[in-house]
Amino acid sequence: MALMDALGIERAVFAGYDWGGRAASIGAALWPQRCSGLVCTNGYMIQDIAHAMQPAPPEREVPLWYQYYFQLERGRAGLAANRRGIARILWSQWSPTWTFDEACFERTAVAFDNPDYVDVVIHSYRHRYGVVEGDPQYAAVQRRLDALPVITVPAI
């Protein structure tokens, strides 16, 4: 909402995929007066942290290997040492029929060089499983999200 305020935007359609879908879903659920509609390719993206440790069927758990890897310090070290390698594997896993070339990959991979990249990724995956606390400045927002609010705006 701070970005919208800074840009002088009162209402907008929120859209996103993956982490962006989570941000869009949260915005739509918590600030529906600012959201004209939601386009989210992943469905309901607000994390149910309270139930995150309940196992899913094995076929749903296997593709999430990287999320479990990142719970360990070995995973943090692995991501720090192999940012591009892990991303390349995940891209191939998530989009098996997409044939991307090196130039396409590198245009995105430069973002992995951000000095905060590893810390942000690791904290996000640990937070979603309730292993670490969120940022205290967002505690009130987290309490609202813990209630798994309904998205009331038009959504696809």
Tell whether the model's pLDDT for residue 126 goes beyond 90.
yes
Mean pLDDT of 69-95: 97
Evaluate if residue 42 carries a pLDDT over 90.
no
Report pLDDT for 103: 96
User: Is residue 48 scored above 90 in pLDDT?
Assistant: yes
The confidence score (pLDDT) of residue 22 equals 95
pLDDT for residue 43: 84
CB burial readout 98-126, b (16+ within 10 A) else e: eeeeeeeeeeeeeeeeeeeebeebbbbbb
Using the predicted structure, report yes or no on whether residue 129 has a pLDDT greater than 90.
yes
**Residue 153, by phi and psi: left (phi above 0), alpha (psi -120 to 50) or beta?**
beta
> What's the chain's average pLDDT?
96
Q: Where are the domains of the chain?
A: 1-51+148-156, 54-129
pTM summary value: 0.89
Write out pLDDT tens, residues 88-112.
999 999 999 999 999 999 999 999 9
Please compute the mean of the pLDDT values over residues 30-54 and round it to a whole number: 95
- Which residue, among 43, 42, 64, 45, has the nearest Cα to 55 in the 3D structure? 64
